[in-house]
Structure 1
Amino acid sequence: MLITRSYGQQPAPQRQYSEVMYHKIKPGHTLEEALAIEKEWKKIHQVQLDNGHISGWFVISKYLSSNPDRQAYDYVTIKNFTDFAVFGNSYPESHLEKTFGSTTKDKWADLLKRTGEVQEGIKVEIWEGVDAVWNEKQLSPDKSPIWVIDLMRVKDGKDAEYVAMEKDMKKLHQERIKMNNITGWNLAALKYPGGSENGYNYATVNYFGNAKEMGDTRYGEAFQKVMAGQDVNKLVSRIYQTRDLVRQEIYILREFAVKQPALAAK
């Protein structure tokens, strides 16, 4: 799906990955119950951030989706990391002990039990960051509560051309940031699991501060400023020659843990 920004980490690492888990709320339970459980998981992830095990953790709930199976999943958790070995050791014992203290075993078992009663993780994906641009003045994730995610299927043999096109479009997103239209944009590639049955293999995310900005993306205005004299129709044609837009989804940021203590406390 995406690579989210790792707040408080400068400079950005050469490579960054995201473990993206899709969650389905079980019958008889609510999103509010699931989010209450996620607040407890946040304590563990904050310890992992402080120890450099991960570089960010986010919870987003699905608001709109073009997916015809609208009940496929309800919310998503995203864990950023720079060392792929993290995926093989997601929750080191030392981090659990620092979170739970002397009753680690019982509290960890209880958290897993209560989590399983409310929701189930139905799918996991690993994404790798390709490119991104951010408003460096927007330091807190809660300044970007709306995420518009486009999931693309890049055509066979068109990967290099598609990525080059997105990198060329990056200046449009930079201009939109200057206009206070978006707070950030990123491009990610699906690393695992592969297979054409996924339907998509790349994703872009536009981050918005509010619904008004989302309603007016200001592409046309930005295009005239940074690509004056170019034919917008040719640009659109170039885009569709490299990929198909498989799905668009809109999410709302619900919870997060970041490296900076002030933001984490918030």
Structure 2
Amino acid sequence: MKTRNEMIRRTVLFAVAMVFVFGAGVFTVQAQDDPMVFAIVDFMKVNAGDEGKYVEIEQDVWKPIHQERINQGEIIGWILYRIHYTGADDEYNFATVAVFDDPSKLEHTFSVDMEKVHPGKDMDQLFDETMNSRQLVRQNLIRRVGAVYPEGGPGDFKYIQVNSMKVKPGHGGAYVDNEMNVWKPVHQELVNAGTRSGWSLWQSVYPFGESLPYDYITVDYFADYSKLGAADVYGAFEKAHPGEDINMLMQETTEARSHVRAELWEVIDSIWKQ
């Protein structure tokens, strides 16, 4: 059992170490306006009919483990998402997100004694049940560049819209400037109006490269399903940028990036540092 745990731990630590060896420059490609926050996103494929079993394993086996990670200061939060409107041919239909508040903590992303969290349990059996319940199809490391939240942090949210953005060649700086100077104030107005629970901009750290479908993602937070599509974006634009040419600002956006995909994710469960 300890041999298996040690192999898993070393595999994770080696992967993260490669981020620091080869990707140190990626962390500072663009300036950010808030403390460094990183997230590791695991994309899961769960077979039809196995969704209930998978969620049960995440909540009963892994949620207590992630709570211990929070207790030990490794992470500040963990979220389990279901991706809506997916079918048999989609790459993934669930995702988990572990949130870190310090890049140095990425060096040791998983040091919890799982046997301590689940005393008397057969950990080999729990691992087998986990592996049989889903397929981990890929993993991304992302960092937050900027955010708009209500006072005190993200508001209560049940859904997020994840927008994948591909920056056009030579427009990396222009794209981030556009998001932060044009769109961030608009999202602040939407939060003020109560139609959004927050907004954030994230840069893909790993993997990265021209062959990938996106470089950045933006996340729109919603308190409930009724808030989807309820925002008065045009009115928010006028409040955020009075007297400015909205069409010109929109043109700057489209010249800097392509909006390649939008997905609706539902929060199934979560835990956060108090």
Regarding TM over 0.5, the answer is yes
Matches within 5 A, 1:111-126: 111-126=126-141
User: Are 1:252 and 2:266 an aligned pair?
Assistant: yes
Q: Please give the alpha-carbon distance, in whole angstroms, between the structure 1 residues aligned to 2:97 and 2:268.
A: 12
Letter in 2 for 1:120: Q
* 2:225 aligned to which of 208, 211, 214: 211
User: Are 1:100 and 2:118 an aligned pair?
Assistant: yes
Offset at residue 225 of structure 1 (A): 1.5
Q: Please give the alpha-carbon distance, in whole angstroms, between the structure 1 residues aligned to 2:129 and 2:77.
A: 24
Offset at residue 97 of structure 1 (A): 4.2
Structure 2: any 5+ residue segments left out of the alignment? 1-32
Match of 1:19 in 2: 40
Q: Please give the alpha-carbon distance, in whole angstroms, between the structure 2 residues aligned to 1:88 and 1:70.
A: 35
**RMSD across aligned positions (CA):** 2.1
**Which fold has the larger relative contact order, with Cα–Cα distance below 8 Å and residues 6 or more apart in sequence?**
1
User: Are 1:133 and 2:155 an aligned pair?
Assistant: no
Letter in 2 for 1:100: H
Q: Please give the alpha-carbon distance, in whole angstroms, between the structure 2 residues aligned to 1:187 and 1:175.
A: 16
Q: Report the count of equivalent residues.
A: 240
Letter in 2 for 1:115: T
* 1:159 aligned to which of 172, 180, 184: 172
Match of 1:51 in 2: 72
**Residue 235 and residue 152 in structure 1: after superposition, are their counterparts in 2 closer, same or farther (change >3 A)?**
same
Higher mean displacement: 159-168 or 13-22: 13-22
Q: Please give the alpha-carbon distance, in whole angstroms, between the structure 2 residues aligned to 1:138 and 1:132.
A: 10
Q: Secondary structure at the match of 2:264?
A: strand
Give me the TM-score of the superposition, normalised by structure 1.
Answer: 0.83
Q: Please give the alpha-carbon distance, in whole angstroms, between the structure 2 residues aligned to 1:56 and 1:109.
A: 26
Letter in 2 for 1:206: D
Offset at residue 89 of structure 1 (A): 3.5
Offset at residue 93 of structure 1 (A): 4.3
User: Are 1:30 and 2:50 an aligned pair?
Assistant: yes
* 1:72 aligned to which of 86, 91, 98: 91
Offset at residue 86 of structure 1 (A): 4.3
Offset at residue 84 of structure 1 (A): 3.8
Give me the TM-score of the superposition, normalised by structure 2.
Answer: 0.81
Q: Please give the alpha-carbon distance, in whole angstroms, between the structure 2 residues aligned to 1:167 and 1:240.
A: 15
Match of 1:191 in 2: 205
* 1:61 aligned to which of 78, 82, 86: 82
Offset at residue 212 of structure 1 (A): 2.4
Q: Please give the alpha-carbon distance, in whole angstroms, between the structure 2 residues aligned to 1:227 and 1:73.
A: 38
Structure 1: any 5+ residue segments left out of the alignment? 1-11, 261-266
Q: Secondary structure at the match of 1:198?
A: coil
Offset at residue 72 of structure 1 (A): 1.1
